Amino acid sequence: MTQLLLKKCPTYKGSRQHHRAAADSRATAELSLRAFKIAGVASIDDFPEKLKTSVGELYIGGYRPCETKRVYKPKDLSKITGDPAKHNPESIFHGRTVVFTGTLSSMVRGDAQQIIADLGGVLGGGVTKETDFLIVGQQDYRVVGEEGMSTKQVKAVKMIQNGAKIEILCEADFLKSI
């Protein structure tokens, strides 16, 4: 999409103007204007709703950076059904509720969820009193902040401090357990 938009920019000259500040700035501006048009953005006031982005601010003594709000569509976990032939009553996940947070480096989350379902585990979308395991992948620090914990992990830690029997596993421990 970006390449298509870029080729339609009147000031884009391909590699001949490559890394020329003025040409790059103009091409960026033209791409932005085209993207705004596609998204239906008519003014800066449209940014929060249509682009899920707030505009940063410069002020004397500092600045506030722009922020992008991610929109997550919850996955319908009921569509992930396990293969009864693969159920393993010896697995620590069999019959237990498992929730994932973060990005797994060894596989996509859907594959990990399928493994849990195949073992006879129960998939949870969020941390609740029914949660037995929270599997923690890599966190995006731009989203989770300096503490590095997702809201699911923060909730699990608080529940554990209040007596809940939730086990938090890193990806490596999860892989050893499957």
**Percentage of residues in the chain having pLDDT higher than 90:** 55
**Which range (13-22, 83-92, 133-142) has the least confidence?**
13-22
**What helix, strand, coil percent values describe the chain, rounded to 5?**
45, 15, 40
The CA-CA-CA angle for residues 100, 138, 51, to 5°, reads 90
* Residue 130 amino acid letter: E
**CA end-to-end span of the chain, whole Å?**
40
Q: Using the predicted structure, report yes or no on whether residue 1 has a pLDDT greater than 50.
A: no
Q: Using the predicted structure, report yes or no on whether residue 129 has a pLDDT greater than 70.
A: yes
**Which range (46-50, 125-129, 171-175) has the least confidence?**
46-50
What's the pTM value of the predicted model, to 2 decimals? Answer: 0.61
What pLDDT sits at residue 65? 87
